[in-house]
């Protein structure tokens, strides 16, 4: 073994080097291989504007763990990477850059703007990919795709035209989310809802032909100018006589009807609800049911339009103040209440969005959603954790037509062409030469682009060559697992499901694993506004990618949020150090005496068989956990095995054999150490790829990489249940001896005789065979295994274990006279402490004036000192005997 591990583990020195080696050797690359079973994961494409955050780090760590696991299991494992064009985010970035250069987007026009956008993408678009590489992501970068590359764009056009011809895509006027600053419709995914302090304005609407009023309450008085009805619940006895009558709409010359609709909650507010179909999605649906007029009162920049009389041209909030003042002046304002309500803002510019009726392109969802519902009901699509099915079904039950057009230049332009002469609309992949209706040669393409989610909904199959019938598509599709955050189940996951079924006739994947959010130590969501975000690259720079990965996956259960603590990253780094140092120790001993080939089972000691059996069971358990996507449970088992069983127990057990050239089992010990370390490294590799690669290739210099080594499989011939029981019994004895020594403050350096007394031959045989390592672990000067208490003094301290009793001569543990003296001094100290604490707790002045926290501290001290006094008194009594 010519290569040596460095004295200390330094991730900075090895991670970049190892990653480059993997790239150079194309270990991440997957090809169609009919001799292997495929396993495919598509990477949720990060935005080209994006920078790696903790959510990305968790999401991609989970995918990398799965793909590395499957690759080692012998699958042709493809992790398909790529980035999303992120329409609004990118357009905003490019506009900002142009503004800094003194250029206005509208002055240069669409084509010039798009040249700038592509240049920006080429310069900055690969940043997040390079950051994912720092994390150790083993995606097939040779296959990297972009949602606006030629192939993906072709797929988008194919789907749009196909759905339009099928009647699933249409252009119409419906309520959409409108951003007055970005001047575009935005998706639900881009609307952030937050609770904000506002008001409820109670307003009187006069009943026509009467001196009476109805009272409505609204959080947005300015929208009353667009009211076309007031609704009441038809079962609300207070208002049944009003249904069918008309009301005078305040501040206008219009009259509006009172309608009955079960949408109204009788218990909420006044029970009367103003209906503004053009500015509220629920009112829009009510308006459709009652054939109400839809009156838009806002311009695109959220100023009041020409239908608003004296308020025209005012900003929406300026108009609100003026309207409230006029209502008050006319005696129509009843009262104003404080009210906290959910307000939707655009996640990019933080502007409050306006629900508005706009002519847009939509996808009909009811029909397309049905197969996606059936897939979950029939368990053809598995959601992990299962509770996500409820959210999935809830969204499907309340599905609305999907607004897919955006008033942006960056994105897939809608393939719809308008005849300049007769207005005929033609939807086609290529621009028609002539209008099919009137023959005119002048056609203009729709100015709008498609919602980013439209192209990412096709991601699992468009990246593999669809709509062409490629070999990749046939082999790698449907994919196997999708890993994503639970916060985008509706916007992306469901759209991929129904798009996959509709376009390919197959589900795009059979399992979706939802992970939670990574929160700060206080449990808050990480955000720029709070300034509590933690940069994964900073963590990697300080502790290494392996430490970050282990931290993110340890204790992680699907669907649950987790908190990030720096202390946990430090603990993960310490674990890497532990593995490193243990490996160095093993290799140093292998250098001195090369391990033999696999020995005959008869040459293995009970300790060897115990650790082989343990690592064998571990391989089986971890594989089962990984197959169930229980990555957090799997890594905890590997961690516990390496740290406790292997390092803290087995390595200590074998040291006497390694240090004795006369020991005939030394070769077996070395073989076992190397074999168990090799298997443990393989099981750890998906979670901590860098440190395991460096150790493995140093341990086995003839091997290329741990990445392409085989995953440990369960072996029947390594199942040693009897030997496991024997060694576990010795471990129990060692723990008991250590407890006794701790309680009696016996230093580690002090060795004592240990008597093992049992009437059972098999127990005596176990300790006889394990005598050498038992003596080392128990810090014994000698181990005496016997059937009775012969030769054991009355003063011996005992510890009971299953089927045996362990005795330690008291005189050998401590200097009895000195120990009695020490215990008496401790007794005196505790007597004083107890007197002081009791005095304080019985002092009425202290109890009435001291802060509650101080009182609780003193009570805790009383409990602690009382327990200590009981222990000291008991030990003293034993000593004085």
Question: Is 539 a member of any domain?
Answer: no
Rounded to an integer, what distance in angstroms lies between the CA atom of residue 90 and that of residue 122? Answer: 12
CATH, residue 236: 3.90.740.10
Rounded to an integer, what distance in angstroms lies between the CA atom of residue 87 and that of residue 91? Answer: 6
Nearest to 274 by CA among 290, 259, 291: 259
Rounded to an integer, what distance in angstroms lies between the CA atom of residue 403 and that of residue 388? Answer: 25
* 293 three-state secondary structure: coil
Question: Is 427 a member of any domain?
Answer: no
CATH, residue 615: 1.10.730.10
Question: Is 732 a member of any domain?
Answer: yes
Same domain, 248 and 388: no
Long-range contacts of 808-814 (CB under 8 A, 24+ apart): 808/737, 808/740, 808/752, 808/753, 808/754, 808/755, 809/752, 809/753, 810/878, 810/879, 812/752, 812/753, 812/781, 813/740, 813/741, 813/744, 813/746, 813/750, 813/752, 814/744, 814/745, 814/746
pLDDT at residue 1, rounded to an integer: 47
Contact predicate 372/366, CB 8 Å: no
What residues make up the domain containing 407? 31-165+364-413+448-515
Same domain, 622 and 697: yes
Question: Is 18 a member of any domain?
Answer: no
- Taking the chain (881 residues) in runs of 10, the rounded mean pLDDT of each run is 81 94 98 97 92 91 98 98 93 92 93 95 91 97 97 97 97 92 84 84 94 93 96 93 94 95 89 95 94 95 95 96 96 91 82 92 92 95 94 88 94 97 94 93 96 95 97 98 84 92 97 90 79 89 97 89 92 97 95 76 93 98 97 97 97 93 90 97 98 97 96 96 94 91 84 92 93 91 91 82 88 75 85 92 89 90 88 78 68
> For residue 59, how far is the Cα from the chain centroid?
6
Same domain, 201 and 299: yes
Same domain, 118 and 192: no
Pairing relation of β-strands 416-419 and 425-427?
Answer: antiparallel
The last residue of a domain, from among 671, 703, 735: 703
DSSP 560: -
Question: Is 559 a member of any domain?
Answer: no
> For residue 88, how far is the Cα from the chain centroid?
25
Same domain, 286 and 392: no
CATH, residue 752: 3.30.2320
CATH, residue 78: 3.40.50.620
Same domain, 485 and 594: no
pLDDT at residue 486, rounded to an integer: 84
Question: Is 678 a member of any domain?
Answer: yes
The last residue of a domain, from among 786, 814, 842: 814
Burial of 291 (0-12, 13-18, 19+ CB in 10 A): exposed
Same domain, 230 and 295: yes
Contact predicate 264/233, CB 8 Å: yes
* Predicted TM-score of the model (pTM): 0.86
Same domain, 679 and 758: no
Nearest to 504 by CA among 467, 558, 556, 542: 467
Count of domains for the chain: 5
CATH, residue 867: 1.10.287
pLDDT at residue 42, rounded to an integer: 97
The last residue of a domain, from among 480, 496, 515: 515
Backbone φ, ψ for residue 244 (5° rounding) = 100, -20
Same domain, 505 and 582: no
Same domain, 481 and 372: yes
Q: In which residue are the tokens 């996808």 written? A: 363
Same domain, 397 and 482: yes
105 is in an annotated binding site: no
Same domain, 625 and 497: no
Rounded to an integer, what distance in angstroms lies between the CA atom of residue 623 and that of residue 482? Answer: 19
Question: Is 677 a member of any domain?
Answer: yes
Rounded to an integer, what distance in angstroms lies between the CA atom of residue 360 and that of residue 403? Answer: 7
Question: Is 715 a member of any domain?
Answer: no
Contact predicate 132/140, CB 8 Å: no
């Amino acid at each position: 073994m010519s290569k040596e591990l460095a004295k200390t583990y330094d991730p900075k020195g090895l991670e970049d080097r190892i990653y480059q080696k993997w790239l150079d050797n194309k270990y991440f690359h997957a090809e169609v291989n009919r001799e292997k079973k495929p396993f495919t994961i598509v990477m949720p494409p990060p935005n080209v504007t994006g920078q790696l955050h903790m959510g990305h780090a968790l999401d991609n760590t989970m995918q990398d763990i799965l793909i590395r696991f499957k690759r080692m299991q012998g699958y042709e494992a493809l992790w398909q990477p790529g980035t999303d064009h992120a329409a609004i985010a990118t357009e905003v970035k490019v506009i900002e850059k142009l503004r800094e250069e003194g250029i206005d987007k509208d002055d240069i026009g669409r084509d010039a703007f798009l040249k700038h956008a592509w240049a920006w993408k080429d310069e900055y678009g690969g940043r997040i990919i390079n950051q994912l590489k720092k994390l150790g992501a083993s995606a097939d970068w040779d296959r990297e795709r972009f949602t606006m590359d030629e192939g993906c764009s072709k797929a988008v056009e194919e789907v749009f035209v196909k759905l339009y011809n099928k009647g699933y895509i249409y252009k119409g006027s419906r309520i959409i989310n409108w951003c007055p600053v970005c001047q575009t419709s935005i998706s639900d995914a881009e609307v952030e809802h937050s609770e904000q302090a506002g008001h409820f304005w109670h307003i009187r609407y006069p009943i026509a032909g009467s001196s009476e009023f109805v009272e409505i309450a609204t959080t947005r008085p300015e929208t009353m100018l667009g009211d076309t009805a007031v609704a009441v619940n038809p079962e609300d006895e207070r208002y049944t006589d009003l249904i069918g009558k008309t009301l005078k709409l305040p501040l206008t010359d219009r009259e509006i009807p009172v309608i009955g609709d079960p949408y109204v909650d009788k218990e909420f507010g006044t029970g009367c609800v103003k209906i503004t179909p053009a500015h509220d999605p629920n009112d829009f649906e009510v308006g459709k049911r009652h054939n109400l007029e839809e009156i838009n009162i806002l311009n695109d920049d959220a100023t009041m339009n020409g239908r608003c009389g004296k308020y025209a041209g005012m900003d929406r909030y300026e108009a609100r103040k003026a309207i409230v003042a006029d209502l008050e002046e006319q005696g129509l304002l009843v009262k104003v209440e404080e009210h906290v309500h959910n307000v939707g803002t655009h996640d990019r510019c933080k502007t409050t969005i306006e629900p508005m009726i706009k002519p847009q392109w939509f996808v009909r969802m009811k029909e397309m959603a049905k197969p996606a519902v059936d897939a979950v009901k029939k368990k053809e699509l598995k959601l992990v954790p299962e509770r996500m099915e409820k959210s999935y079904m809830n969204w499907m039950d309340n599905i609305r037509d999907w607004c897919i057009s955006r008033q942006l230049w960056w994105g897939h332009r809608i393939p719809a062409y308008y005849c300049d002469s007769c207005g005929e609309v033609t939807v086609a992949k290529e621009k028609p030469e002539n209008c099919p209706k009137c023959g005119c040669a002048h056609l203009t393409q729709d100015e709008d682009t498609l919602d980013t989610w439209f192209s990412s909904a096709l991601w699992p199959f468009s990246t593999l060559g669809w709509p062409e019938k490629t070999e990749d598509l046939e082999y790698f599709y449907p994919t196997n697992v999708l890993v994503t955050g639970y916060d985008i189940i509706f916007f992306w996951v469901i759209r991929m499901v129904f798009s996959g079924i509709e376009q390919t006739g197959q589900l795009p994947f059979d399992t979706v694993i939802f992970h939670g959010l990574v929160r700060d130590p206080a449990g808050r969501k990480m955000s720029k506004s709070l300034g509590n975000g933690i940069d994964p690259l900073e963590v990697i720079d300080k502790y290494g990618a392996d430490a970050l990965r282990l931290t993110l996956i340890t204790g992680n259960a699907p669907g649950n949020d987790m908190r990030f603590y720096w202390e946990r990253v430090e603990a993960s780094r310490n674990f890497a150090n532990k593995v490193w140092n243990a490996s160095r120790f093993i290799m140093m001993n292998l250098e001195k005496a090369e391990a033999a080939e696999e020995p005959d089972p008869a040459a293995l000691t009970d300790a060897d068989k115990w650790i082989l059996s343990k690592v064998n069971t571990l391989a089986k358990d971890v594989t089962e956990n990984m197959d169930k996507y229980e990555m957090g449970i799997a890594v905890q088992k590997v961690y516990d095995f390496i740290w406790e069983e292997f390092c803290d127990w087995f390595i200590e057990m074998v040291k006497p054999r390694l240090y004795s050239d006369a020991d005939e089992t030394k070769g077996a010990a070395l073989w076992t150490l190397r074999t168990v370390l090799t298997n443990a490294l393989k099981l750890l590799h998906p979670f901590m790829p860098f440190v395991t690669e460096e150790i493995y290739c140093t341990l086995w210099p003839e091997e290329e990489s741990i990445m392409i080594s085989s995953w440990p499989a369960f072996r029947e011939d390594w199942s040693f249940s009897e030997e496991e029981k024997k060694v576990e019994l010795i471990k129990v004895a060692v723990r008991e001896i250590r407890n006794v020594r701790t309680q009696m403050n016996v230093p580690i350096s002090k060795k004592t005789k240990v008597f093992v007394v049992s009437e059972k031959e098999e127990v005596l045989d176990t300790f006889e065979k394990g005598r050498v390592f038992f003596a080392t672990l128990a810090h014994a000067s000698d181990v005496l295994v016997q059937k009775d208490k012969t030769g054991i003094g009355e003063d011996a301290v005992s510890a009971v274990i299953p089927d045996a009793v362990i005795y330690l001569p008291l005189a050998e543990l401590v200097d009895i006279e000195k120990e009695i003296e020490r215990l008496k001094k401790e007794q005196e100290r505790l007597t004083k402490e107890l007197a002081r604490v009791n005095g304080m707790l019985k002092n009425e002045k202290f109890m009435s004036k001291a802060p509650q926290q101080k009182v609780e501290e003193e009570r805790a001290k009383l409990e602690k000192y009382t327990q200590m006094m009981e222990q000291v008194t008991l030990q003293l009594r034993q000593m004085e005997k």
